[in-house]
Chains A and B, each alone.
Chain A
Amino acid sequence: MRIPAALRGDFITYVAGYLLALVLTGAAFAVVDFHLAVPATGFALVLGLGFLQIIVHMRCFLHISLQRSARSDLMLVLFSALIIALMVGGTLVILFNLRMRMM
């Protein structure tokens, strides 16, 4: 039985995404479980690996593409990311600053 190229391509995308996500998850858990780094560095590593994994998920599972069409969807995602960065970043900066001043 011959497998059509398009089917194989889609399948490979999901398998690659799954394997990459497993490796990144495993790496993040390993950093914590085996105490590979001091807590501050470890947390930075975990955040970095998590960020990479989110990109893998967006690319392989959610199929957000930088090329071709569907630009309005991409704009929506990027704009939401900007809003999230502003709101989360702003909240953390202001409240940590407040805490520091009240200590």
Chain B
Amino acid sequence: MPGSMNEPELLHAGLNLGNHPPAMRQQLECSIFGFWVFLMSDAILFALLFAVFGTAIQNTAGAPSPGSAFKISAAGRETFALLSSSFTYGMVSICLKHDASRRWVGLWLAITFCLGAWFLDGEVHDFLKMFHDGVTPQRSAALSAFFVLVGTHGLHVTAGMVWILLMGAQMAVYGIDERVKINFIRLGLFWHFLDLVWVAIFSVVYLRGLLG
């Protein structure tokens, strides 16, 4: 077995919470690996949406280009919200790993939820403003690709928020037991992954669009 004796062996990528009972280790390893497989298939979905966006970006058909329709301050605010929520979820993981009380976990989870809501609020606001200005998906291939790509990410974040609520409920009902911990690890991977996709979106879609 690789790894030194005094340092616990890593069971999976992602923050290892450690101190799992032996019976749980096998399940943990399988569960988290399975979730990584899902995440990577999701990554491929996003990558292909990026490819579609890249090939369609110049096909504006006389409609405004996606880049001319948004403001840098809005993109910056959304980026900050999502990035901060990733950090606060990191605090959730640390609290779980170091056996903090349910109250601390709940507090950081609530902050993460609020930051996620702040992000979604900004995105919905942007979309509504674009619709109001007549910048809609059916106008051009470029806009279709833009709304599919950013909208898919938005839907993922929405799903993540529902998941955060469910985890709050699970924690309230079952306490922090091993199965709840596994779910927290998976939610963490999902949430950090969404932030990672957003990095690609704000670089390729927003900042490229604003460069003109």
Contacts and interface: CB of A to CB of B under 8 A. Distances in A.
Q: How large is the interface on B (under 10, 10 to 19, 20 to 34, 35 or more residues)?
A: 35 or more
A29 B207 contact: yes
B98 interface: yes
A18 to B, nearest CB: 4
Interface string B161-205: 000000000000000000000000000010011011001101110
A73 B195 CA distance: 19
A96 B86 CA distance: 36
Interface in A35-80: 39, 42-43, 46-47, 49-50, 53-54, 57-58, 61-65, 68-70, 72-74, 76-77, 80
Contacts of B7: 68
Contact of A61 (B33, B195, B207): B195
Contact of B43 (A53, A63, A84): A84
9 contacts: A6-B98, A14-B90, A25-B80, A46-B207, A53-B199, A57-B195, A62-B13, A62-B189, A87-B47
3 closest Cβ contacts across the A-B interface? A50-B203, A73-B13, A80-B40
Interface of B: 2-3, 7, 9-16, 32-33, 36-37, 40, 43-44, 47-48, 50-52, 54-55, 58, 72, 75-76, 79-80, 83-84, 86-87, 90-91, 94, 97-98, 189, 192-193, 195-196, 199-200, 202-204, 207-208, 210-212
